[in-house]
């Protein structure tokens, strides 16, 4: 059913006049008459009858009128659902318990008036594809992985250098150390069963292992963070990497320790990625908030992979 014709029918039914409806719709009276004629032809019934006072719905027109209003209401809701500013800002946080999830929660507390739709996509390729397709408005990622430069039209803004800590059980050699250097990790087994090949975090920890020599073990299966910490707590040899910004709760009996890494401090470089031509006003508010509240990096020397660019980058929008 032609919604333009349906809109003309409702306008006439409301105003009682073809001429008044034409003015309201910004059309000529002839154009309105043609739309009504086409609608009546499609439905096979007469919808309006002219009277000395103007026009009024026939019995069939009266039957159609509530459904016509419902159709126009559905159209308005459909348009609002996808209009920038009229729908929720869709943000990918990789994992709700990861640091980006906390950044988005802070943004929501500061701007509760901006509706949010938080999703969790897996790897950078999936996230960038979702950005380009309009499935999400923004994503938090580490950029740029080797062989994964930002495509044209995708912009990036560094928002957090997340310091890594060594998580060990009470029987580990570093359990009582106030801090350790990354060089001291050489030869030590770092168990990370969720470190999936092909992801940006796998590239990060591969670069860290190549630089400082820890043995990053990805042998699974991966049963989640709780199962990982259960194993770490009872092992004198296993350790893993965690951050203080990642919320985690473990039983008191585990007596796990988060040992700072220094000289240098490995930091995981989170950036916000978005499509440069995305006009959603919530996206501008998110970027402004992250820029204004960006945590200061830890003191001292920092380490990032050579492929992680600490400077803001903006890619050109696609032509046209």
Predicted TM-score (pTM) of the model is 0.69
Contact 167, 240 (CB under 8 A): yes
pLDDT at 288: 96
Helix (H, G, I), strand (E, B) or coil at 262: coil
The token pair that represents 175 in the structure block: 């359990």
Residue 104's pLDDT is 94
Q: What was the pLDDT predicted at 145?
A: 56
pLDDT (0 to 100) of residue 314: 43
Beta-carbon contacts of 204 under 8 Å, excluding residues fewer than 6 positions away, are: 142, 268, 305, 308
Task: Judge contact between 82 and 279, C-beta under 8 A.
Answer: no
Please provide the CATH number assigned to the domain covering 165-260.
3.40.190
pLDDT of residue 319: 37
Contact between 307 and 270 (Cβ < 8 Å):
no
Find the helix or strand (DSSP H, E) in which 232 lies.
helix 225-233
- Partners of 266 in the β-ladder: 303
Q: Do 142 and 269 contact (CB within 8 A), yes or no?
A: yes
Which residue in 255, 254, 190 sits closest to 227, CA to CA? 254
The rounded distance, in Å, linking the Cα atoms of 285 and 280 is: 9
Structure tokens, 99 = 């640091």
- Give me the residue spans of the domains in the chain: 3-82, 89-160+269-314, 165-260
Cβ pair 244, 217 in contact under 8 A: no
When the pLDDT of each residue in the chain is averaged and rounded to a whole number, the result is 87
- Assign 3-class secondary structure to 81-112: HHCCCCCCEEEECCCCCCHHHHHHHHHHHHCC
The pLDDT assigned to 313 comes to 45
Helices 281-292 and 99-110 sit at what angle, rounded to 10 degrees? 110
3-state helix, strand, coil in the chain (%, to 5): 40, 20, 40
Inter-CA distances, 262 with 56, 159, 184, Å? 81, 21, 10
Q: CATH classification of 3-82 is 2.40.30.10, yes or no?
A: no
Element (H, E) at 239: strand 239-242
Contact 209, 215 (CB under 8 A): yes
Q: Which CATH code is given to the segment(s) 89-160+269-314?
A: 3.40.190.10
Q: Which residues of the chain have pLDDT under 50?
A: 310-320
3-state secondary structure of 5: helix
User: What was the pLDDT predicted at 247?
Assistant: 65
End-to-end alpha carbon distance in the chain: 33
- Chain segment 165-216, per-residue pLDDT in tens: 999 999 999 999 999 999 999 999 999 988 888 888 888 999 999 999 999 9
DSSP annotation of 253 reads: G
Question: How large is the greatest C-alpha to C-alpha distance in the chain, in angstroms?
Answer: 98
- The candidate with the shortest Cα–Cα distance to 267, out of 301, 294, 293, is 301
CA dist 56 and 16 (Å) reads 6
| Cis-peptide into 264, omega within 30 deg | yes
Q: What is the DSSP string of 242-260?
A: E-TTS-----GGG--EEEE
Token pair 């800590």 is at which residue? Answer: 165
Same CATH fold, 165-260 and 89-160+269-314? yes
Residue 254 token pair:
């585990």
């Amino acid at each position: 059913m032609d919604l333009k014709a349906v809109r003309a029918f409702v306008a006439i039914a409301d105003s009682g006049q073809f001429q008044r409806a034409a003015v309201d719709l910004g059309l000529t009276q002839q154009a309105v008459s043609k739309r009504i004629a086409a609608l009546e032809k499609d439905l096979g019934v007469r919808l309006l009858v002219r009277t000395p006072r103007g026009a009024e719905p026939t019995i069939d027109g009266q039957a159609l009128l509530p459904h016509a209003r419902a159709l126009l209401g559905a159209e308005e809701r459909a348009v609002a659902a996808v209009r920038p500013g009229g729908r929720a800002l869709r943000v990918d946080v990789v994992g709700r318990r990861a640091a980006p999830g906390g950044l988005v929660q802070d943004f929501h507390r500061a701007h509760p008036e901006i509706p949010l739709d938080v999703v969790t996509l897996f790897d950078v390729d999936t996230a960038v594809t979702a950005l380009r397709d309009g499935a999400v408005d923004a994503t938090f990622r580490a950029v740029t992985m080797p062989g994964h430069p930002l495509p044209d039209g995708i912009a990036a803004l560094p928002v957090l250098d997340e310091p890594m800590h060594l998580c060990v059980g009470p029987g580990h050699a570093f359990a009582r150390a106030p801090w350790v250097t990354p060089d001291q990790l050489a030869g030590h087994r770092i168990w990370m069963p969720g470190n999936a090949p092909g992801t940006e975090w796998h590239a990060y920890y591969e670069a860290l292992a190549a630089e400082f020599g820890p043995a990053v073990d990805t042998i699974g299966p991966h049963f989640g963070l709780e199962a990982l910490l259960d194993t770490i707590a009872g092992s004198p040899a296993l350790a893993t990497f965690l951050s203080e910004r990642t919320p985690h709760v473990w039983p008191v009996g585990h007596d796990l320790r988060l040992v700072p890494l220094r000289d240098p401090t490995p930091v995981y470089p989170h950036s916000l990625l978005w499509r440069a031509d995305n006009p959603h006003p919530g996206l501008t508010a998110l970027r402004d908030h992250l820029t204004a509240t960006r945590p200061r990096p830890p003191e001292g020397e920092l380490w990032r992979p050579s492929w992680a660019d600490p400077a803001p980058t903006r890619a050109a929008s696609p032509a046209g």
